[in-house]
Amino acid sequence: MELRQLKYFVKTAETLNFSEAARLLYVTQSTLSQQIRQLEQELGTALFVRDSHSVSLTESGEQLLPLAKRTLQDAAACQDRIKDLQQMLSGSLNIGITYTFAPLLTETVMEFLKIYPGVKLNIFYKTMEELMDMLEKRELDFVLAFKPSRVYPGVESHVLFDNCLSIIVNRNHPLAEKTSVTLQDIMPYSIAMPSKGLQARNTFDKMFPGASESLKIRVELNDANVLLDLVRGCNLITLLSSAVLQSKEMKAIPIEVPHNIMEGCVHTLHKSYHKRAAEEFIKLLRESVALIGMG
């Protein structure tokens, strides 16, 4: 039994489609099928039920799947530990980031690439739900995001900074002179709204259930940088954590509401091995000007 065969089996079990699994693994379908047949012959049992219309796991396949995943995870952890022990800091680092968190990252990425040229960064921008699913599948080393409203079993959240939900306006906006705003204050103005699923939007909808129906929403999108560009260029308002604002051309104004807290966190799997490269990246992030400015 080879790790490659287990990798092919797991991907096919996840997709239940031989051609799709082969595409994702960058191998031919015939190579994939041959390796799985060899695995079945070695185990002395069929792992898949195949017919002309569908593929499904046999009982043996269902029993093997969690064991195969654990074996592959352990093998990857062994490689990471040996590299770290050799002080090589090479390989890759897989980071998940929510769209709202993205503007805080540029400085740290540039610094890390300069200090550790041997490490490749794979950065995934997705919603919190998608990133937590990837983290639980060990497809990510850690996730950078604000603290979610729900609990994810097996995931640890370590606070990087405390912040709050704010409106962000350019310096010429009529609200720019205020030090805080209420929901009623922002009602008359046009808004560039974060899309549903983004943490800023989730936080707003939780604080003000149903209120978004009464706002003058002109555009909804899931990219914090584009939202900030729109605010910079015109008199639109947007709703984001004030932490994302790094430009003096605009102003973040906290929204007056009880318990207006958005905790910026690094999320990791409980009791999982942390790559040294991950620890170094998080250290640099904590030391970045963007985060120090919030202290």
Domain CATH for 135: 3.40.190.10
* Residues 195, 221: Cα–Cα separation, whole Å: 5
* Residues 104, 115: Cα–Cα separation, whole Å: 19
**Domain shared by 268 and 253, yes or no:** no
In a domain, 79, yes or no: no
**Domain shared by 148 and 271, yes or no:** yes
**Domain shared by 134 and 243, yes or no:** no
Measuring CA to CA, which residue among 134, 133, 210, 216 is closest to residue 167? 216
User: Angle 118-124-129 (CA atoms, 0-180°, nearest 5)?
Assistant: 140
Domain CATH for 196: 3.40.190.290
Q: Do 161 and 291 touch, CB atoms closer than 8 A?
A: yes
In a domain, 222, yes or no: yes
Q: Which residues fall within 8 angstroms of residue 87, CB to CB, at 6 or more apart?
A: none
Instruction: Find the Cα–Cα–Cα–Cα dihedral 164, 159, 116, 247, rounded to 10°.
Output: 10
Determine the pLDDT at residue 290: 56
* Residues 176, 190: Cα–Cα separation, whole Å: 14
Domain CATH for 14: 1.10.10.10
**Domain shared by 197 and 210, yes or no:** yes
Measuring CA to CA, which residue among 29, 42, 32, 30 is closest to residue 4? 32
Give the residue numbers spanning the domain of 210.
165-260
**Domain shared by 121 and 144, yes or no:** yes
**Domain shared by 45 and 126, yes or no:** no
Determine the pLDDT at residue 295: 44
**Domain shared by 56 and 173, yes or no:** no
**Domain shared by 212 and 183, yes or no:** yes
**Domain shared by 272 and 155, yes or no:** yes
Determine the pLDDT at residue 160: 85
Q: What are the distances in angstroms from CA 94 to CA 87, 191, 204, 217?
A: 19, 34, 29, 35
Determine the pLDDT at residue 84: 62
Q: Do 280 and 89 touch, CB atoms closer than 8 A?
A: yes
Number of H helices, E strands in the chain: 11, 12
In a domain, 219, yes or no: yes
Q: What are the distances in angstroms from CA 12 to CA 8, 72, 127, 131, 293?
A: 6, 14, 25, 22, 47
Domains held by the chain: number: 3
**Domain shared by 21 and 150, yes or no:** no
Amino acid at 243: A
Q: What are the distances in angstroms from CA 253 to CA 126, 151, 225, 241, 287?
A: 26, 29, 18, 10, 25
**Domain shared by 97 and 223, yes or no:** no
In a domain, 82, yes or no: no
In a domain, 80, yes or no: no
Q: What is the mean pLDDT of each run of 10 residues along the chain (295 residues)?
A: 89 91 92 92 91 87 91 78 61 87 84 89 90 91 87 88 88 92 94 87 89 92 87 90 80 89 88 82 80 49
In a domain, 96, yes or no: yes
Structure tokens at 93: 């680092």
